[in-house]
Amino acid sequence: MKTMPLFGALLGSAALAATPALAQDTGTEPPPTEAPETAPPENSRPPATIDTDGDGVMDAWDQRGDGRPDTWDTDGDGAPDAFDQDGDGEPDPQ
């Protein structure tokens, strides 16, 4: 139920965005108001699955599948930036 209104809103905004572009076919093209989704799926990591600091935000991955986190997002941007490559369960010093 919740996805349908959102989908409709997306379609509506897309139509609104497309209309001025068609009308100003010969004029100056307005800059896009919304950045498209630029992250290619093959380069994006799945969302973190482990909350290591208990703040309710997932911030680590268990890539080895041993039940312990081995990859961390320490700055909260969603991209991994710390790794445990020596297997001691702690992020390795850079």
To the nearest whole angstrom, how small is the minimum distance from the Cβ of residue 26 to Ca ion?
45
Q: Which of 41, 46, 77, 94 binds Ca ion (CB under 5 A)?
A: 77
Helices (H), the chain: 3-23
Q: Taking the complex as a whole, how short is the minimal distance between the CB of residue 43 and Ca ion, in angstroms? A: 15
In sequence order, the 6+-apart residues with CB closer than 8 A to the CB of 63 are 70, 71
Residue carrying the six token digits 């379609």: 11
Binding stretches for Ca ion (CB under 5 A): 51, 53, 55, 57, 59, 73, 75, 77, 79, 81, 84, 86, 88, 90, 92
